[in-house]
């Protein structure tokens, strides 16, 4: 009996180590992408994997030249966060654009140009621990959702309603969580390849590393890992879109690539089914993670435009 108990304890410790290694690997990757100096050049150039995609190339050139105002927010825990604000001369409303894990605002030229062309002034922040924003850890929505409320308050001062939100990957999770928190203050939400919950995404991440953990033990081990994850600023319970979406009435557009194996495609259907309000979804055949816009540009823009027109009414430039 003592041997069995010892084996269980050792197995639990090993899994916790695996989970924490996955979490630290995420953090380490993030810090590798983080700007080394706040004074680093802010020139916007097309990313290598967007070369050859006309909308994205043109959007990068446009964003590099458009007038951008730097805006700051002090987070609830004292971090100085930074965003870019692009004012539309005749705004239909305002849009928050939230980058994904390891990304920074300068990478979101395609989404920003699309929404600008649809009449929105844009506020696009660097998430905590990314780009020009302070912070050591990404918490996958647990703390970012509070940051998002702060950014919404700033957007409300900068531009008239309606206000919408768009995010990709982790930014999509933040967008969904903000919609749950802010309610009617958000007119519409567009989530692109967001995950159901931080925990389910971490389970998927751990499995991708090749760790063959018996399913019967996973829940117990993750329960034991939760307090350890909190040491890094995370909280699995505060980054669970699937749990909160049934009570969310904000109209929502769900987008995902069918070949996504980082945030698996099946998560979109789970989120779509869970959402309690008006909704629409778009699947982009063959698109990998965060590539739905690039691989299905025309359909993507048409779907976003149609969704927003249904919710907000038509727009004449």
Same domain flag for 179 and 286: yes
Same domain flag for 248 and 157: yes
Same domain flag for 191 and 203: no
According to DSSP, the β-strands at 69-74 and 80-86 are antiparallel
pLDDT bucket at 249, cuts 50 / 70 / 90: very high
pLDDT bucket at 139, cuts 50 / 70 / 90: confident
Six token digits for residue 131: 């780009």
Q: In the chain, pLDDT over 70 holds for what percent of residues?
A: 77
Closest Cα partner for 263 from 147, 131, 172, 138?
172
99 belongs to a structural domain: yes
Work out whether the CA dihedral 146, 222, 101, 191 comes out positive or negative: negative
Please state, in angstroms and rounded to a whole number, the distance separating the CA atoms of residues 57 and 72.
28
For residues 61-71, average pLDDT: 97
Residue 221 lies in domain: 1-33+199-234
Same domain flag for 138 and 188: yes
41 belongs to a structural domain: no
Same domain flag for 72 and 215: no
The domain boundary, picked from 234, 259, 290, lies at 234
DSSP E strands, the chain: 69-74, 80-86, 93-98, 120-125, 163-168, 188-192, 252-257, 279-284
3-class SS string, 232-255: CCCCHHHCEHHHHHHHCCCCEEEE
The domain boundary, picked from 234, 259, 287, lies at 234
Over 70: is that where the pLDDT of 22 sits? Answer: no
pLDDT bucket at 233, cuts 50 / 70 / 90: low
Instruction: With beta carbons less than 8 A apart as the criterion, state whether 196 and 242 touch.
Output: yes
Same domain flag for 18 and 152: no
210 belongs to a structural domain: yes
Domain count, the chain: 2
266 belongs to a structural domain: yes
Please state, in angstroms and rounded to a whole number, the distance separating the CA atoms of residues 157 and 19.
41
Q: Answer with the residue of higher pLDDT: 182 or 20.
A: 182
Q: How does the average pLDDT of the chain come out, rounded?
A: 85
């Amino acid at each position: 009996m003592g041997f069995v108990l010892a084996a269980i304890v050792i197995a639990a410790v090993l899994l916790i180590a695996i989970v924490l290694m996955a979490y630290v690997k995420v953090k380490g990757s993030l810090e590798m992408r983080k700007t080394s100096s706040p004074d680093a050049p802010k020139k916007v150039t097309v990313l290598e994997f967007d070369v050859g995609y006309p909308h994205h190339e043109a959007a990068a050139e446009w964003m590099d030249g458009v007038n951008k105002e730097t805006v700051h927010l002090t987070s609830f825990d004292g971090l100085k966060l930074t965003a870019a604000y692009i004012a539309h001369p005749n705004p239909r409303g305002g849009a928050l654009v939230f980058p994904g894990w390891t990304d920074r605002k300068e990478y979101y030229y395609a989404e920003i140009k699309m929404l600008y062309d649809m009449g929105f002034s844009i506020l696009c922040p660097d998430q905590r621990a990314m780009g020009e924003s302070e912070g050591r850890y990404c918490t996958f929505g647990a703390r970012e959702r509070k940051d998002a409320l702060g950014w919404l308050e700033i957007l409300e001062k900068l531009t008239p309603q309606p206000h919408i939100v768009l995010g990709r990957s982790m930014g999509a999770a933040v967008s969904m969580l903000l919609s749950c928190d802010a309610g009617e203050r958000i007119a519409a939400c567009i989530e692109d390849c967001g995950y159901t919950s931080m925990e389910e995404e971490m389970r998927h991440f751990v499995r991708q590393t090749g760790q063959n953990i018996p399913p019967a033990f996973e829940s117990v081990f993750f329960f034991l890992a939760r307090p350890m994850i909190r040491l890094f600023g995370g909280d699995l319970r505060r980054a669970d879109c699937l749990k909160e979406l049934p009570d969310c009435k904000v109209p929502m557009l769900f987008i995902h690539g069918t070949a996504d194996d980082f945030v698996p495609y099946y998560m979109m259907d789970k989120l779509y089914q869970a959402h309690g309000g008006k909704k629409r979804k778009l699947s982009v055949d063959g698109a990998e993670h965060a590539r739905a816009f690039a691989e299905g540009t025309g359909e993507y823009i048409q779907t976003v435009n149609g969704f927003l027109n249904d919710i907000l009414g038509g727009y004449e430039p």
